[in-house]
Structure 1
């Protein structure tokens, strides 16, 4: 909600939003900006209707070698096949509950207002004393919190301690003629680790963290990075007072670190993964895919989203986590590995056969995540449709001749 409005702020244009076949409910929308940009980076939107005037946060995304985008989240529900018009205002405004990034010295914590969403662990996390030291790691997300504060991820689970939080790793790999493994890090053949911070941005609509990670092969005479992978993590603001879920995106750009390709033979798991909360097990953890499959019949289902939700005890409320796979991802819809007893899942293109990442052909994959209180969200399919095919927007700027 806007806490300071400048009535005299000039209107410099308007955005028309047209929904398609699916409704839009508090979801991010963008409009492309002209090459000249906007005259001021401090902008916000105003929507006028019979119900009154609403002031809406807006935030500019600066992109290299592409048109910049202005992002906003239309408040409430935009029904299917309708239009809404928003005026663009220039001015310095103050909004409550900006999205921020805090550095704890060990992790970057992304928050909406004073509520935590996730921790990206950049510092090496030593394994607990009862586990082998090789299980220590960085470059993973944990904890992941729901809006009510429940944690839906786990770190160093005793049964499979390499499944820490949210991570991306490949299992059965060939690098320079050697078999390596970035998933099962206790094998000491390979691992994924944090390399460096690239950039960060905070604001009223989103906070974005960009980091670089190394997929390091350990099977040669000395360690060597096989991949340099950039994660762009973007947490979206949920401006309603009691949101049902947090929403964030990750774009992974995995590029060869040298002239040597990474070969990925067919295998039944490996890719973008999540380990569910501590105490979730076969009896109190459930799965649902976009095709209506469950743990019983959903393993390697070619789904465009998959949800996992659980609770540590029968008296505890449900909470969960949904991965939405973008339609541009390699081998989309990617098969989803659903474990028969453990609370983890992974989108794994390797299940469909051999493939590779080469210097000429990097792997760029995109995912959206919904962290929710309660069981699977009924609007998940709607959110995926708007993520895969963004609603249409048009921009009309005021000119001196108007």
Structure 2
């Protein structure tokens, strides 16, 4: 009798496990809706694409897409962006090319796609390191990094990105360069400023008039499509009787997964939202540099560093060119190869197309609206600027104009929720 009960129990457990497994697989394969993507005048080509989702809870939020017009029906990694009070967005990387005017229909399904690599964020103790799989892409330094002993202590800083690393492992940024130690990695700062009637300077930090520093972490997210870091920075004025925060700036840094074994470049976006921290505006008189900047790799010189703007201009004639994008690349002394990065400016930026400051001898550039005349950031009116970065091996990328067009003019995307099956009475 005991043996019969035991066998009956085992049979029940086996049937239950099979039913549970089948139910899980059924959920993972269930269709949640359809996505249609239509290219405008610009082709859609190997770029991030998104669509707003309806206010519905997708259990687990692990989803993927399937191209209904593809013979292989390959699963495409997708990721849901949680946006608090705003509707969630679905993101994926569109692989291949969708010609202007053409439409593609994809099916959204529950369940993740097994991936060899995701975009992750590691806290190193001094920086948030963003990686694609096992590859380091960039480090955002949130801890104060002391200046080297042979430099003045005032050069120490936080709130900058370094190193920036290519897919082949080349470092294309510098930190505390000996000739201009305040140009560390990638940073955003303004030079000629007036706050509460006093001249201040957030760029040349050795002047001890002002500086930009990390304040706090707001959020971070990893996933199969992107990894995102959101931090708050402070523009601190040091010219008054006590230090005072003039601007609070939110940086949203998003690194994209290229979904390729050997990508031609890493791609990441930065959105800067700078707001007045007091009732006083930050006045920015006309000046020839100040804004979103990058300092090129150690060892890049006038002789081995090249610039190229979207208008085909170079170091010799490109300073303050009003460019859609600008590339800087330098030659590596070890193997004579070139590597570098391209900054793409968004059409929604103030004074777009912004002039790009190209230094006549040093390896740095900065998109600078101040070159076109006086302006200011006023209370209640934040300055929001957006940029996309392509970190590449080799010289300037071919096809950057198409990449900029895709960035500036995203396709039309619509989502249709799957109909729920009718229940029997």
Give TM-score, length-normalised by structure 1. Answer: 0.96
Residue 345, structure 1, aligned to residue 365, structure 2: yes
Which deviates more, 37-46 or 364-373?
Answer: 37-46
Which deviates more, 118-127 or 43-52?
Answer: 43-52
Find 1:263's aligned residue among 283, 297, 321: 283
C-alpha contact (below 8 Å) 2:76/2:113 kept by paired residues: no
Find 1:100's aligned residue among 117, 120, 140: 120
Map 1:150-169; keep pairs closer than 5 Å: 150-169=170-189
Distance between the aligned counterparts of 2:67 and 2:302, measured in 1? 48
Find 2:232's aligned residue among 201, 212, 222: 212
Residue 371, structure 1, aligned to residue 359, structure 2: no
C-alpha contact (below 8 Å) 1:6/1:93 kept by paired residues: no
Residue 308, structure 1, aligned to residue 334, structure 2: no
What SS class does the counterpart of residue 134 from structure 1 fall into? helix
Map 1:10-49; keep pairs closer than 5 Å: 10-36=30-56, 38=58, 40-49=60-69
Structure 2 equivalent of residue 57 of structure 1: 77
Question: How big is the shift at 1:11?
Answer: 0.8
C-alpha contact (below 8 Å) 1:320/1:376 kept by paired residues: yes
Question: How big is the shift at 1:78?
Answer: 2.7
Distance between the aligned counterparts of 1:349 and 1:298, measured in 2? 15
Distance between the aligned counterparts of 2:211 and 2:228, measured in 1? 25
C-alpha contact (below 8 Å) 1:155/1:165 kept by paired residues: yes
Which deviates more, 201-210 or 90-99?
Answer: 90-99
C-alpha contact (below 8 Å) 2:327/2:340 kept by paired residues: yes
What SS class does the counterpart of residue 125 from structure 1 fall into? coil
What SS class does the counterpart of residue 29 from structure 2 fall into? coil
Which deviates more, 75-84 or 129-138?
Answer: 75-84
Question: How big is the shift at 1:43?
Answer: 1.0
Question: How big is the shift at 1:40?
Answer: 4.7
Residue 287, structure 1, aligned to residue 287, structure 2: no
Shift in CA distance, 37/305, structure 1 to aligned 2, threshold 3 Å: farther
C-alpha contact (below 8 Å) 2:226/2:256 kept by paired residues: yes
Distance between the aligned counterparts of 1:38 and 1:382, measured in 2? 34
Map 1:186-197; keep pairs closer than 5 Å: 186-197=206-217
Question: How big is the shift at 1:86?
Answer: 1.1
Shift in CA distance, 304/38, structure 1 to aligned 2, threshold 3 Å: same
Distance between the aligned counterparts of 2:263 and 2:25, measured in 1? 28
Structure 2 equivalent of residue 234 of structure 1: 254
Shift in CA distance, 116/97, structure 1 to aligned 2, threshold 3 Å: same
Question: How big is the shift at 1:62?
Answer: 1.6
1:234-287 C-alpha deviation (Å, 9 max, x unpaired): 000011111000000000010111111110000000000000011111111111
1:43-64 C-alpha deviation (Å, 9 max, x unpaired): 1111244541210111111224
Structure 1 vs Structure 2 CA RMSD: 1.6
What SS class does the counterpart of residue 406 from structure 2 fall into? helix
C-alpha contact (below 8 Å) 2:45/2:406 kept by paired residues: no
What SS class does the counterpart of residue 231 from structure 2 fall into? strand
Structure 1 equivalent of residue 12 of structure 2: none
Task: Report the structure, 1 or 2, having the larger helix content.
Answer: 2
C-alpha contact (below 8 Å) 1:270/1:347 kept by paired residues: yes
Structure 1 equivalent of residue 193 of structure 2: 173
Which deviates more, 391-400 or 310-319?
Answer: 310-319
Aligned residues: 398
Distance between the aligned counterparts of 1:85 and 1:381, measured in 2? 26
Residue 393, structure 1, aligned to residue 413, structure 2: yes
Structure 1 equivalent of residue 7 of structure 2: none
Question: How big is the shift at 1:6?
Answer: 5.1
Question: How big is the shift at 1:400?
Answer: 2.6
Structure 1 equivalent of residue 18 of structure 2: none
Distance between the aligned counterparts of 1:233 and 1:391, measured in 2? 22
- Whose Rg is larger? 2
Structure 1 equivalent of residue 138 of structure 2: 118
Structure 1 equivalent of residue 17 of structure 2: none
What SS class does the counterpart of residue 109 from structure 1 fall into? strand
Contiguous gaps of at least 5 residues in structure 2: 1-23
